[in-house]
């Protein structure tokens, strides 16, 4: 009797494993995280755990590293409702610039991490036979 949907363990490509490790470190996972293990072979459950672990690490990274401060978009909405060339408008503009200066580097780094995550996730899904 064969197990329908069974997944034969496969050796993960060395470059994929290295990219998983690099992304995991960039996301700040603990040194003892299973994401830093050498995955010589992986079954379907392990591939899913790696994908889920990277997802959780990404969300955790965003939560812990997002610069706390004012929301640029909320400030911009307030600015639109403020009369131009007033002290209130100038104060809002300064707050917008300060908030953007804090958030833009974070957004740029998250975009880079997200691109890496997406490419790795696509390869892991391919290992599972997912489209």
* Structural domain for 32, as ranges: 14-127
Residue 3 counted as domain residue: no
Residue 85 counted as domain residue: yes
- In a structure prediction context, what are the per-residue pLDDT tens digits for the chain, which is 131 residues long? 445 456 678 878 899 999 999 999 999 999 999 999 998 888 989 999 999 999 999 999 999 998 888 889 999 999 999 999 999 999 999 999 999 998 999 999 999 999 999 999 999 999 888 87
Residue 5 counted as domain residue: no
Segments in the chain forming alpha helices (H):
14-26, 44-65, 72-80, 87-127
pTM given for the model: 0.79
Residue 65 counted as domain residue: yes
CA distance 37 to 16: 13
Note whether 35 and 19 are within 8 A (CB).
Answer: no
Number of domains in the chain: 1
């Amino acid at each position: 009797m064969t197990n329908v949907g069974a997944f034969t363990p496969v050796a993960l490509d060395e470059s994929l494993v290295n990219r998983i490790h690099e992304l995991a470190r960039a996301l700040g996972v603990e040194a003892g995280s299973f994401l830093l293990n050498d995955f010589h072979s992986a079954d379907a459950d392990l591939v899913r755990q790696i994908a889920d672990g990277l997802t959780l690490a990404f969300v955790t990274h965003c939560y812990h590293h997002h610069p706390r401060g004012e929301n640029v978009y909320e400030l911009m909405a307030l600015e639109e409702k403020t009369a131009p060339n007033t002290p209130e408008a100038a104060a809002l503009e300064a707050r917008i610039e300060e908030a953007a200066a804090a958030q833009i580097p974070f957004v740029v780094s998250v975009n880079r991490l997200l691109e890496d995550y997406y490419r790795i996730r696509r390869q892991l899904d391919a290992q599972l036979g997912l489209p």
